[in-house]
Structure 1
Amino acid sequence: MTRLSFQLYSVRDFDLPAILPQLAKIGLQEVEGYGGLYADADNFQQQLAESGLRMSTGHFDLAMLRDDPGEVIRIASLMNMESVIIPFLTPEDRPTDFTGWQAFAATLAEAGKPVIDAGLSFGWHNHAFEFTACENGRYPIEAIMEASDHIGLEIDLAWVHVAREDPVTWLETFAGRLLAAHVKDCAPDGECADEDGWADVGHGVMNWDKIVPAMRSAGAELMVLEHDNPSDAMRFATRSFTTASAF
């Protein structure tokens, strides 16, 4: 059964304590965390519980996981998370060829072992750079996913689109390896400039009629709503939840 969640990074610039109960009111039951929320994890978990929400997945910085895996696992357990996900690699840290990506992927797989040993799922969340071909024609995302069967993918469908790749093709490629899908939309060229070119789900150019069946076939049972820069948090949340609920 497909479940809906909400990446709280989407509302980082708004009054989060006020927004949490509003997310529950529109029908959301799950959210996804990010690094800025974990400084006082105990207090934030209480806020979630009071709002009727559960943080089922969370984004964690790779450096934090490597330096203090015990703390990552403590936070994940406190929040009742199912999955620990690494969300990003800064430009200066990105390898410049496929061999470099293979080496990075091996490091990623090693870093994830304590998470797996703790009974949690471990995965990677993509941006566009993982879907830019290397010098040999292969993709960084292939190196990451080939490093270990224990690395799952939270596929960000809009970033795949931004990379000018077909989300359906990559959903098929990684069928059975998906922890979740970031359900995000792109505005038509030149529109929504004040929101960095992103759109509410169902109000952009993503071909959901083709993508949604591919998500189901690939085993993406958790759909995480996201917008990188909404001007109105609850407009985005409400319209996107309405769209995704009908998928």
Structure 2
Amino acid sequence: MTFPLAYQLYSSRNFPPLEAQLPELAAMGYDAIEPWLPAYEADPAAFRRAVEAAGMRIIGFHMPLAGLAEDPGAWCDIAEAMGAEVLIPPYVPQEERQPTAAYWRGIGEILARGAEVAAKRGLTVAWHNHDFEYVALPDGTRPIDHILGVSEALKFEIDCGWIVRGGADPAEELRRYADRIVAIQLKDTAGPDGMSSEDGWRATGDGIIDWQALVPLMEATAATHVVAEHDNPADWRAFASRSAETMRRIGLAKGS
């Protein structure tokens, strides 16, 4: 089973101009761009045209959680302008996080309300994890389970690299939330001795995650696409090409 292959444009934020990268990414075999603010902020429709001119599309995009809470309709408008299907809030700032189950259920409630608005317009809201959602609270529960436990309408973009950094097992999380996962980020991480370069992140296939072992679990999810991301690559081209090559080699992307 192969998936459309998306590239998280955040990976290239330090190498402007971003639009100049689009034809190169398409030539590497990427089918879609997953943008983040401010890439599309000035003119979502124009950004869509640039992506489509390069032969790609936008399936999902990262957006602020506060935007979903304050004006979900406006962000649905942005999704439609970009031709996107999935709105993806990805983060809670550290200074706002509270170590209680009630707080994290509250985050889930915000997301669930946004998902309800989006669903009426044929759109989906999905949470994107980092490592902090896997750190146990004082009562032994995990933030991720409270976030996703509020509503089945809320979906999940699972980031395997951050799960490893959070001390959890990507295989178990792929099983646990298989029917909620709409996108899979194949972010790779170095081991403890490799954290001094590129913030410890690696191109897919160059880190410690056994991607081949995870393929059957990924195929059993409800995912519609897979995503390459690296938070601080020294060379965006090397990261993008190597990640696409790995995804094809293990049979997740076309051309394998």
User: Considering the TM-score relative to the shorter chain, is it more than 0.5?
Assistant: yes
Deviation at 1:57, TM superposition (A): 0.5
Tell me the residue number matched to 2:34: 32
Distance 1:187 1:220 in 2: 25
Deviation at 1:27, TM superposition (A): 1.2
Task: State the SS of the aligned residue for 1:213.
Answer: helix
Tell me the residue number matched to 1:20: 22
Contact 1:95 1:104 survives alignment (8 Å): no
Counterpart mapping for 1:1-247 below 5 A: 1-15=2-16, 16-39=18-41, 40-191=43-194, 193-247=196-250
Task: State the SS of the aligned residue for 2:115.
Answer: helix
Contact 2:11 2:233 survives alignment (8 Å): yes
Deviation at 1:192, TM superposition (A): 5.8
Task: State the SS of the aligned residue for 1:159.
Answer: helix
Instruction: Provide TM-score, normalisation by structure 2.
Output: 0.92
Distance 1:120 1:76 in 2: 8
Letter of the 1:155 partner, please give it. Answer: I
Letter of the 2:161 partner, please give it. Answer: A
Going from structure 1 to structure 2, the CA distance change for 1:151 and 1:215 (only over 3 Å counts) comes to same
Deviation at 1:184, TM superposition (A): 0.7
Contact 1:5 1:31 survives alignment (8 Å): yes
Q: Runs of 5+ in structure 1 lacking a partner? A: none
Distance 1:111 1:95 in 2: 21
Letter of the 1:157 partner, please give it. Answer: C
Aligned positions, number:
247
Distance 1:70 1:106 in 2: 16
Letter of the 2:27 partner, please give it. Answer: K
Going from structure 1 to structure 2, the CA distance change for 1:81 and 1:177 (only over 3 Å counts) comes to same
Letter of the 1:30 partner, please give it. Answer: A
Task: State the SS of the aligned residue for 1:78.
Answer: helix
Contact 1:30 1:55 survives alignment (8 Å): yes
Q: Runs of 5+ in structure 2 lacking a partner? A: 251-256
Task: State the SS of the aligned residue for 2:137.
Answer: coil
Deviation at 1:22, TM superposition (A): 0.2
Greater Cα shift, 143-152 or 32-41: 32-41
Letter of the 1:224 partner, please give it. Answer: V
Deviation at 1:107, TM superposition (A): 2.4
Quick one: percent identity of the two aligned structures? 36
